[in-house]
Amino acid sequence: MENAKSVKLVLEDGTEIQGQSFGAFTSAAGEVVFSTAMTGYPENLTDPSFAGQILVLTYPIVGNYGVPGEELYESISKIFESDKIHVAGLVVNYYSEEHSHWNAAKSLGDWLAEYNIPGICGVDTRMLTKKLREKGAMLGKIVAEQDIPMHDPNQDNLVAQVSPEGVQHYGTGKNKIVLVDCGTKTNIIRCFLERDVELIRVPWDYDFTQLDYDGLFLSNGPGDPKMCVPTIEHLQKALQQDKPIFGICLGSQLMGLAAGGDTFKLKYGHRSHNQPVKLTGTQRSYITSQNHGFAVDTATLPAEWDMLFENLNDGTCEGIKHKTKPFFSTQFHPEAAGGPQDTEFLFDQFLDEVEKYKAGK
């Protein structure tokens, strides 16, 4: 790029990679992770699960379709996954200053600058991704004019930073669902509203056990699930009842912890739109969208719990279920945005369980 300022990406192992600045010309630190998704950067950058992370996009050209303008649906974004960019920084190979798309309102660089988020381009992202795969996700920083220290976001309660402060209501449908917002993507809300529900969105530490509801949903979110102590304690109470519970991503990890199991940090996580999972006990598999760095250790689950889905790349847990009660979760994202929507039917299965519960009361 003409007249672009020089910046560098520094990793905790001492690696320094020179590049050019786009977006905000500022320094930022975080955990360096990679996504192999070919498209969907507007959705990725606004996904709260990326909070505190410097995201490496492996697709060789980024920014060529720009960024769409904001549109609202039921008071939430129609396009983005939250109301702001959550990544700490962005790393790409080739950044396209010029963009072309019928719905584009601005460039990716201008959008990053609006939120004071730095980007670095001209990076050999293939080399960088191989390093992260071999050594694991590591701390890093994008350094502009002023150097800054490394920072491990997993030592912070990131969920508390991205969760809303108050209770919000959506829809007027027949089934009342409580959504525990640990950093939920707005497409999860859209998926529920398309299915005629009344949605009560509560903060991560809200005592939802005091509410009158038909089903409980646990959202995705950033960081280490063990930081969410109040959520786990409230969920343990909910597991003593029979009301249906559905969790996605971080919600799956919280369900595992509340059930008495353990979680662990993956070497470099799953962040892509093409992760294959298998429904356990069957020969049925699905291609899924994923974004997580932690997983449930199924060996630690109590006897009344089973693994529901298995990752066909590394064998890790992609969801759990209770053997007799209507509790289940997925580590992947059935709502996608971006990525395949092959497993969106799980929202319907959850609401079917809600109907059964209501009919049997």
Type and span of the H or E element at 248: strand 245-248
- Are 76 and 186 within 8 A, CB to CB? yes
| 151 is known as an active-site residue | no
The residue assigned the tokens 């905790």 is 12
Of the residues 234, 249, 270, 273, only one is catalytic, namely: 249
> 221 among the known binding-site residues?
yes
> 294 among the known binding-site residues?
yes
- Relative to beta strand 138-143, strand 28-35 is antiparallel
Of the residues 86, 270, 292, 333, only one is catalytic, namely: 333
> 219 among the known binding-site residues?
no
Q: Which residues contact 245 (CB under 8 A, 6 or more apart)?
A: 215, 216, 217, 218, 235, 238, 239, 255, 326, 327, 328
Euclidean distance between CA atoms 283 and 271, whole angstroms: 24
Helices (H), ranges, the chain: 41-45, 108-114, 125-135, 158-162, 186-193, 229-238, 250-259, 345-360
Of the residues 31, 198, 335, 353, only one is catalytic, namely: 335
Secondary structure of residue 311 in the 3-state scheme: strand
| 335 is known as an active-site residue | yes
> 49 among the known binding-site residues?
yes
| 333 is known as an active-site residue | yes
Buried b (16+ CB within 10 A) or exposed e, 329-339: bbbbbbbbbbb
Euclidean distance between CA atoms 357 and 177, whole angstroms: 13
> 163 among the known binding-site residues?
no
Residue 116 in tokens: 């004071």
Euclidean distance between CA atoms 242 and 125, whole angstroms: 48
Q: Which residues contact 329 (CB under 8 A, 6 or more apart)?
A: 218, 246, 247, 248, 251, 252, 255, 256, 308, 319, 320, 321
> 93 among the known binding-site residues?
no
Euclidean distance between CA atoms 221 and 231, whole angstroms: 12
> 315 among the known binding-site residues?
no
Annotated binding site for L-glutamine: 49, 221, 223, 250, 253, 291, 293-294
Residues annotated within a binding site: 49, 221, 223, 250, 253, 291, 293-294
Positions marked active-site: 249, 333, 335
